[in-house]
Structure 1
Amino acid sequence: MKRAIGLIETKNIIKGISVADAMLKSANVDLIMAHSVCPGKYFIMVGGDVGAVQNAVRSGKATGGNENIVDDIVLSNIHPDVFHALSGCSEVKEIKSLGVIESYSVASAILAADTAVKSATVQLIEVRLARGMGGKSLVTLSGEVGAVTAAVRAGSNAIQDSGFLIGDLVIAAPHQGLHKALF
């Protein structure tokens, strides 16, 4: 498991590919994922030691230029459940309470998910990254209503000042049919 991850989201695909190349050339990091996201943006995630990831993100930002970067972040000690939620591999048998955080950027959604799962005993269901959603990202989680409320509040607060938070929602006892609609 990597000690840190670094993320950069660019406004266009060509610049994103160039940023990914610069990030990988600048430091001893591994490419975790890189792909286009809606609407024509590009997202790069690298992992490695904290210093190497910080260097890669600095290099990527310099290559991309401020005018082309939507968002970026370096997270050390990311919660392992975030990776399961990113890949859609979280197994959810029952939704006790449902928490949702919606954001305008990929990086802010991942920060919100990591903060939420570290703040309370909840299960991340999914971190959906701006594919087919007009550039928005979505974090969903479940657990006891008090824990879900605390986790959603913490995740939303973590991205509130960035301007990327669209909103959040807690449903104490979602209808059984909602589970099928969401997943």
Structure 2
Amino acid sequence: MMDSLGIIESRSIAAGAVLADIMVKAANVTLIKAGTICSGRYMIHVAGDRESVVTSVSAAIDAGYALAGSYTISNISKQVLDALKRGVPVHGHGAIGVVECRTASSGIAAADKAVKRSTAQLARIVTGRGINGKSYFVMTGDVASVEESVTAARETLGKDLVEAVVIPSPDPSVINALVMRS
């Protein structure tokens, strides 16, 4: 059963290619995504059962290459998977939260914690491309649930937090600007 997501963010593109190969050979995981992101980094996502994903991520860590981030997320939220794949339609809500993270991988882990903490909905995750290797995600919902999800993200990110804001009653044009796919 694919209930876990493993994330490796390599500081090198060449090393990232090697790490992706190491990861899929180390355990019975599915390579979901592998490719370059800004700042010459390489992001790898693998999915599978928890034990296999832990083994795969550990193999990448043990390979000795410089990493910007590594995560194993158990019981990954369907909202996070959907947002990574294609995004989610957004309709008028009482508030939006925007969380900006220092690395692409830390943003995915924080978004998962944020959606699990409250009833706020994840509208978009942007990882690495065109934003110098950083990431951000957008939450929507009532003010209290968005505040709760942003608090969860702050706690998860620690030093990887760039900024997190909650905007009550956002103008629809602001929502569209944040969640539009380019």
**TM-score of Structure 1 vs Structure 2, range by shorter chain:** over 0.9
Instruction: Give the share of equivalent positions with the same residue, in percent.
Output: 35
Aligned residue for 1:138? 136
What is the CA-CA distance between 1:64 and the residue it aligns to? 4.3
What is the CA-CA distance between 1:87 and the residue it aligns to? 2.0
Q: Aligned letter for 1:140? A: V
2:69 to 63, 68, 71: 71
Aligned residue for 2:106? 108
- 1:71-110 equivalence runs, <5 A: 71-110=69-108
Contact 2:93 2:142 in 1 (8 A): no
Mind listing any 5+ residue stretches in structure 1 that lack a counterpart? none
TM-superposition CA deviations, 1:135-181 (whole Å, max 9, x none):
11001010000100011001111111xx2111100001111221232
Contact 1:10 1:41 in 2 (8 A): yes
Determine the C-alpha separation between the residues in 1 that align with 2:76 and 2:85: 15
Normalised by the size of structure 1, how large is the TM-score? 0.94
Mind listing any 5+ residue stretches in structure 2 that lack a counterpart? none
What is the CA-CA distance between 1:89 and the residue it aligns to? 2.7
Runs ≥4 in structure 1, deviation > 4 angstroms? none
Normalised by the size of structure 2, how large is the TM-score? 0.94
**CA-atom RMSD, angstroms?**
1.1
TM-superposition CA deviations, 1:32-86 (whole Å, max 9, x none):
1111111110000101111111110111112243xx1111010100110001111
Q: Aligned letter for 2:168? A: A
Contact 1:10 1:16 in 2 (8 A): yes
Aligned residue for 1:166? 162
Aligned length: 179
- 1:1-183 equivalence runs, <5 A: 2-65=2-65, 68-160=66-158, 163-182=159-178, 183=180
Determine the C-alpha separation between the residues in 2 that align with 1:172 and 1:85: 22
